[in-house]
Structures are given as structure tokens and as C-alpha cells.
Structure 1
Amino acid sequence: MFKVENYDGNRQAQYNLLRKQLVSLLEGERNQIANLSNASALLNQFFDRVNWVGFYLTEGDELVLGPFQGLPACVRIPFGRGVCGTSAKERKSVLVADVHQFPGHIACDAASQSEIVVPIIKDGQVLGVLDIDSPEKNRFDEIDQENLEEFVRILVKFL
């Protein structure tokens, strides 16, 4: 496994390989917790300069902590609150260059400076969100967003 910044190829090639690794890990397994656990571990190994990678799962009108890699985290987040709740409520990805500038940001880890959240939608229902935090501002960009959205589209097939 390689870190995205340590690979000599272009970023798109790196993401293509990541998606192939995801399919290899999940193929033949239908257990949601197992697949989300492996997906979070894969992403944690893929990215440099991140301090939290994981999932929040929908339960009623809130998100509940799911499989993750990182420090202990907030357990419940109402839809519409913080970056994760906003992504779930609006059903769209949220890319935040500086979490301290995001109204209502929930600081589970004081070290987090930037964040990207991608909703997980299957059959029109929000199953949860993928959340990745970094201790650096401006860590994520549109290339990350587009590729993580594709990562989630693949993941959904195994949930």
C-alpha cells in the first residue's frame, strides 16, 4: 500500500488503484460493518496528513458513529448540524478548507483543521456519510471530492 503523496504517478492513477483495492477488499462480503471497517482502514492508509477517517450511519434524523480510524469521536450528530450533519441533510458533499470558518462545526478532535464529507446514498436514502479530517488547512480539493464520491458509489454496491 502506498500513500497518495508518495506515489510518483498522477493523482487520478492513484485514485484508480484505490478503487481497485476497494473492490478487491469488499468483493464477496455483504456485511456492512465489515465493509465499512475495511473501507475506513484502506482510506486511512491511502491518505497522508489525515487524523480521522470514518463513517457516520443514519439512525432516524441523526448520524451515529460507525467504523473509523482515529481518536474517539462524537457519537451522535443531528442532521443539519456540523459538516457531517449538513452533508447528510443536503445530500451533497461538503469540502471545508478551514473548519473554524464553518458555522456550527463540531470539534470532536481539536487538531482537525480541514474536512471533507461525502454522503452515502442508496436507493434514494441517506445511509450515512464518509468523513475525513486533516490537521492541515486546505488539505482536500475538488479532485479529492470527485474521487471520494466515486469511492462511495462503489462502496454502496457492497452495503
Structure 2
Amino acid sequence: MKSLDLWFEEYGESHQNPTNQKIHKVAVPGIFFSVAGFLWLIPSLSVAGVNIAPYFIVLAFVLGFYAMMSIKAFIVMTAFSMFCTLILVQLQHAQVSVFVLSSALFIPLWILQFVGHHIEGKKPSFFKDIQFLLIGPAWVFHFFFPLTKHDS
């Protein structure tokens, strides 16, 4: 498995432009939240009388991905995921449409991402490897919290 340092190095190749970086610092966490919102809406499954929310199953795999690369990335992404979950609970309690909000974030933020890559002059990394969709959020957070040995 590739190290987080190598993932960041490769991801960073198409994220050198300061404007593109600023766009990603806003859009990537927003997209992560909107995807979490869409997953939140999937009804729980009942397995042997136990309700299992697909949201938490997917989240466990996502956090496992980060844990395999870096304990720091796992901790930071777990904290952000908990924040997203808390917001989703609060939105649901306030009877705000999570679908409408997630859609209102997802579409324009992806457009903004493509604008950033147009400015950069390089294709988004996930066109090369879909795993970059999970690297992007950690890459954004490494600007604020060092997540790799190289950053420490």
C-alpha cells in the first residue's frame, strides 16, 4: 500500500496553483459533508433484528482506509467525520432537508473544483485513481494539522 506521503506528493502535482488550493480547501470538506449527507439518508438495514445504518458501515471503511496509512490522518478524519455526523443529527432534529442541503452543496462545489482544475491546467487526480477522492480531504486537512512523518 502506498504511504500517505506518496499519496500527497502525487495528489499535490495537480494542486500547485494557489487559487486551486484555496478552492479545494473550501470545496473538498463541503463535498465530503454533502456525500455524508446523501449516505445519511439511506434507510437502515435490519440484519438479525439489528438495525444497521449504511452511513456508519461506509464511514467505518473510509476511516479504515485512513487508519491503514496514518494514525494522524485517522484521528483528524475521525474528528471531521464526527463533526459531520453531529451536524447531520442537528439538521435532522431541526427538520432541515438533508437532501436539499447536500444537493445544494454537492453540485456547485464540484463545479468549483473543476474551475480550480481549469485554472490549474491539470485534470483532477481521481481521473487517474478513484482513491484520490479519499486522499483529497486528508490533503486539505494536512495544511492545518501535519498528518505525515514528512510534515511533522
TM-score, normalising length from structure 1? 0.29
Computing the radius of gyration from Cα coordinates, the structure with the larger value is 2
TM-score, normalising length from structure 2? 0.30
Which structure has the highest strand share of the two? 1
Higher relative contact order, structure no. (Cα contacts within 8 Å, ≥ 6 residues apart): 2
